[in-house]
Amino acid sequence: MAEVRISVRHLVEFVKKSGSIDSRMSEPDRAVLGTKIHKKLQKEAGEGYESEVPLAFECEEKGIQFCIHGRADGIVDGELIDEIKTTHVATVDFEGEGAEVHWAQAILYGYFYAVQEGKESIRIQLTYFHLEEEAISRFERTMTLAEMAQFFKEIIEEFAEFAKLMHDFRAVRKETIQHIEFPYPAYRKGQRELSIAVYRTITAEEKLFCEAPTGIGKTISTLFPAIKAIGEDKTEKIFYLTAKTATRQVAEDAVQELRRQKLRLKSTTITAKDKICFLTERRCNPEDCEFARGYFDRINLALFDLLKHEDLLSREVIEAYARKHTVCPFELSLDAALFSDLIICDYNYVFDPTVYLRRFFADAKGRYTFLIDEAHNLVDRAKEMYSAALSKRQVLDVLRQVPKEDRKLHRALDQLNKQMLQIGKEVEPETGELVQKEALKTFNEKVYAFNEIAQEWLGKHTPTNTHQAVLELFFEARSYGKIAEFYDEHYQTLVEAKKDTQIKQLCLDPSKLLAERMALGTGSILFSATFSPLAYYTKLLGGEADTSRLSFPSPFRMEHLQVLTLSYIDTRFKGRASSYASIAEALFEMVEAKRGNYLFFFPSYAYMEEVYRRFSDAHPDLETRIQEANMPEEARTEFVDAFQEGREVVGFAILGGVFSEGVDLKGARLIGTAIVSVGLAQPNRALDLVKDYFDEREAASGFRYAYQIPGMNKVLQAAGRVIRGEQDRGIVLLIDQRFNEPRYVSEFPRHWQNWKSVSSPKVLKQELARFWNFAYTLEDDFFGRGAGGKR
What's the chain's length in residues?
Answer: 791
Render the burial of 368-403: b for 16+ CB within 10 Å, e for the rest. bbbbbbbbbbbbbbbbebbbbebbbebbbebbeebe
The β-bridge partners of 80 are: 76, 123
Looking at residue 781, what is its pLDDT?
46
Specify the range with the lowest mean pLDDT, choosing from 60-64, 221-225, 445-449. 60-64
In this prediction, residue 782 carries a pLDDT of 46
Mean pLDDT on 698-718 = 93
Question: Is the pLDDT confidence value at 175 over 60?
Answer: yes
Stretch (H or E) spanning 266: none
Q: What is the pLDDT of residue 310?
A: 97
Per-residue pLDDT at 418 = 96
3-state SS class at 311: coil
Identify the band that residue 40 occupies on the pLDDT scale cut at 50, 70 and 90: low
Residues 6+ apart with CB under 8 A from 341: 173, 227, 230, 237, 238, 265, 266, 267
Q: How many Å apart are CA 12 and CA 8, to the nearest integer?
A: 6
Lowest mean pLDDT among 121-135, 201-215, 715-729: 121-135
Q: Flag the least confident range among 14-18, 203-207, 447-451, 606-610.
A: 14-18
- 790 contact partners, CB below 8 Å, separation of at least 6: 592, 593, 594, 595
Q: Are 764 and 589 in contact (CB under 8 A)?
A: yes
CATH among 2.40.50, 1.10.275, 3.40.50, 1.10.3470 for 388-507: 1.10.275
pLDDT > 80? residue 364: no
Q: According to the per-residue pLDDT averaged within each range, which of 28-37, 454-463, 697-706 is highest?
A: 697-706
Identify which has the larger pLDDT, 312 or 38.
Answer: 312
Q: How far apart are CA 663 and CA 655, in angstroms?
A: 13
Q: What is the mean pLDDT of residues 486-491?
A: 97
pLDDT by residue (tens digit) across 626-640? Answer: 999 999 989 999 999
Q: Express each pLDDT in 727-747 by its tens digit.
A: 899 999 999 999 999 999 999
Alpha helices in 310-388 (DSSP H): 315-325, 329-337, 348-351, 358-361, 378-385
* DSSP letter string, 507-554: ES--HHHHHHHHTTSSEEEEEESS--SHHHHHHHTT--TT-EEEEPPP
Q: Check residue 122 and give its pLDDT.
A: 96
Q: Are the beta carbons of 615 and 603 closer than 8 angstroms?
A: no
pLDDT attached to residue 482? 95
Is the pLDDT confidence value at 783 over 80? no
Closest to 361 in 3D by CA, of 241, 516, 206, 503? 516
The pLDDT of residue 36: 63
Question: Which pLDDT score, from 0 to 100, does residue 24 have?
Answer: 58
Per DSSP, helices labelled H in 205-343 are 218-231, 245-259, 273-276, 295-309, 315-325, 329-337
Q: Which amino acid is at 58?
A: E
The span from the CA of 470 to the CA of 474, in Å, is 6
The backbone torsions φ and ψ at residue 33, rounded to the nearest 5 degrees and listed phi first, read -65, -40
Cα separation, 592 vs 648, in Å, equals 11
Q: What is the mean pLDDT of residues 747-761?
A: 95
- Which is it for strands 121-130 and 598-602: parallel, antiparallel or unpaired? unpaired
pLDDT value of residue 789? 41
> Contact at 8 Å (CB) between 772 and 753?
no
pLDDT > 70 in the chain, percent: 93
The whole-angstrom separation of Cα 28 and Cα 483 is: 15
Domain with CATH 1.10.275 in the chain: 388-507
The Cα–Cα gap between 771 and 594 comes to 10
**pLDDT exceeds cutoff 90 at 441:** yes
14 vs 162: CA distance, rounded Å? 10
Is the pLDDT reported for residue 57 higher than 90?
yes
List every span in the chain annotated with CATH 3.90.320.10.
2-161
**pLDDT tier for residue 784 given thresholds of 50, 70 and 90:** very low
Domain with CATH 3.40.50.300 in the chain: 192-381+511-551, 558-782
CA distance 73 to 83: 5
Q: Which range among 30-34, 76-80, 317-321, 426-430 shows the weakest confidence by mean pLDDT?
A: 30-34
pTM: 0.90
Residue 785 has pLDDT above 70, yes or no: no
How confident is the model over 33-44, as a mean pLDDT?
A: 64
Q: What is the pLDDT of residue 183?
A: 92
Mean pLDDT of 541-569: 93
DSSP assigned state of 599: E
In this prediction, residues 675-680 reach a mean pLDDT of 96
Sheet containing strand 501-507, edge to edge, reads 388-391, 501-507, 491-497, 433-436
Q: Which helix (H) or strand (E) holds 477?
A: helix 465-484
Secondary-structure class of domain 2-161 per CATH: alpha beta
CA distance 587 to 582: 9
Question: Average pLDDT, stretch 163-187?
Answer: 93
> What Å distances lie between residue 508 and 116, 343, 435, CA to CA?
53, 30, 13
Please determine, for residue 554, whether its predicted confidence score (pLDDT) is greater than 50: yes
CA 607 vs. chain centroid, Å, equals 31
State the Cα–Cα distance between residues 614 and 587, nearest whole angstrom: 11
Decide if 173 contacts 341 (C-beta within 8 A).
Answer: yes
C-alpha–C-alpha distance, residues 113 and 119, integer Å:
8
Is 791 a residue whose pLDDT tops 80? no
- pLDDT, residue 215, reads 85
Question: Using CA atoms, how far apart are residues 265 and 667, in angstroms rounded to an integer?
Answer: 33
Region 192-381+511-551: CATH code: 3.40.50.300
Query: Rounded to 5, what percent of the chain is helix, strand, coil?
Result: 50, 20, 30
pLDDT digits (tens, 9 = 90+) for 400-434: 999 999 999 999 999 999 999 999 999 998 888 99
Share the mean pLDDT of the chain. Answer: 91
pLDDT of residue 278: 95
**CATH class of residue range 558-782:** alpha beta
Average pLDDT, integer, range 367-377:
96
Q: pLDDT tens digits for 60-75?
A: 999 899 999 999 999 9
Q: How far apart are CA 250 and CA 240, in angstroms?
A: 11
243 within 8 A of 660, measured Cβ to Cβ: no
Report CA 106 to chain centroid distance, whole Å.
36
Is residue 788 pLDDT above 60, yes or no? Answer: no
**At residue 528, does pLDDT exceed 60?**
yes
What digits encode the pLDDT tens for the residues 176-212? 999 999 998 888 888 999 999 999 999 999 999 999 9
Please return the burial class of 476, using the count of CB atoms within 10 Å of its CB with bins 0-12, 13-18 and 19+: middle
- CA–CA separation, 229 and 238 (whole Å): 10
Mean pLDDT of 292-316: 95
- Nearest CA to 625 among 654, 590, 653? 653
Q: Determine the Cα–Cα distance for residues 327 and 343; give it in Å rounded to an integer.
A: 20
End-to-end CA distance of the chain: 71
Residue 506, pLDDT > 70, answer yes
Of 544, 558, 540, 539, nearest in space to 213 by CA: 558
481 neighbors 448 (Cβ within 8 angstroms): yes
